[in-house]
Amino acid sequence: MDHRAANELLGPYALDACDKAETAAIEAHVLDCVTCQRDVAEIHEASGWLGVFETAIPAEWLRAAILREAATDDRGRIDRRAGVGDRRATRS
């Protein structure tokens, strides 16, 4: 995907409004494009904030179920100051 096509799609991309193939093509371009990286950083966070007032209280059992499952593996540990993140990894 060329720069122009990718850059035009960053709005839909930030809203998760692209299909899988387009999303993959955009992400491949963004990895190598400083301009697009800057644009994505700016608008992706904005789209994250769109969701933050959509709160709903989950069922009580869910918390215990998640903690129980987390306890069965020791693969990770929450550390808010975790090292340098990898932008590519955030898409999963």
Partner 1 sequence: LDALGEVYDMYGAVVYGVALKVTGERAEAEALTREVFLDLWRHPERFDPSRSPLRPWLAMLAHRRAVEAVRARAAPSRQGDGMVASSGRVLDLDEIMQSIIRAEEVRAALAALPEDQRTAIRLAYFAGKTYQQVAAALDLPEDTVKARMCSGLRRVASSVHVAVVEEER
Question: Site residues (CB under 8 A) for partner 1?
Answer: 8-12, 14-19, 41-59, 62-63, 65-67, 69-71, 73, 75-87, 89-92
Is 89 in contact with 82 (CB distance < 8 Å)?
no
Q: How far is the CB of 58 from partner 1 (least distance, A)?
A: 4
Of 74, 76, 20, 69, give the one whose Cα is nearest residue 28.
Answer: 20
Indicate the residue among 32 and 74 with the shorter CB distance to partner 1. Answer: 74
Q: What CA–CA distance (Å, rounded) separates 18 from 14?
A: 9
Which residue is associated with the tokens 């789209």?
Answer: 47
Q: How far is the CB of 35 from partner 1 (least distance, A)?
A: 13
Indicate the residue among 10 and 30 with the shorter CB distance to partner 1. Answer: 10
Indicate the residue among 32 and 54 with the shorter CB distance to partner 1. Answer: 54
